[in-house]
């Protein structure tokens, strides 16, 4: 079954990180990638640009509205994701706990809805 691991963290805190802290985080992600890659569990994933680069799109009564940034004010922002292929939720949660940002932020794990077409 496929699971999406959404990586939430505090952009303001990350922007204040020292170069050494940033390097350590990147190294931790490199180690995680090295751990998960040979398993074939990772189907995809990427980091996202900061929320300041986002545009929210809404259509109401046929009218398109564009707004800079995310819709909701939050303490943690969506910063990236992994798409995993796991046997069950327990396995997906085990992998999510290994994602480096779980130590300072939140990893939301959601099963992908499968449709038969």
Q: Which residues contact 93 (CB under 8 A, 6 or more apart)?
A: 109
In DSSP terms, 42 is beta-bridged to 84
Token representation of residue 104? 């300072």
Measured distance between the N- and C-terminal CA atoms of the chain, rounded to whole angstroms: 17
Task: Give residue-wise pLDDT tens across range 65-93.
Answer: 998 876 667 789 999 999 999 999 999 99
DSSP 45-60: EEE---GGG-EEEEEE
Contact 21, 113 (CB under 8 A): no
Grouped pLDDT means (10 residues each) for the chain, 117 residues: 97 94 97 97 96 92 89 83 98 98 97 93
Dist CA 115 CA 41 (whole Å) = 21
């Amino acid at each position: 079954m496929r699971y999406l691991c959404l990586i939430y963290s505090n952009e303001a805190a990350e922007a204040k990180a020292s170069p050494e802290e940033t390097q350590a985080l990147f190294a931790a992600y490199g180690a995680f990638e090295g751990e998960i890659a040979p398993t074939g569990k990772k189907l995809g994933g990427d980091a996202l640009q900061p929320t300041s680069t986002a545009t929210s799109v809404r259509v109401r009564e046929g009218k398109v509205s564009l707004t800079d940034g995310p819709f909701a004010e939050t303490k943690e922002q969506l910063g990236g994701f992994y798409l995993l292929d796991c046997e069950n939720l327990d396995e997906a949660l085990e992998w999510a706990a290994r994602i480096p940002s779980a130590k300072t932020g939140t990893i939301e794990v959601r099963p992908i809805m499968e449709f038969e077409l």
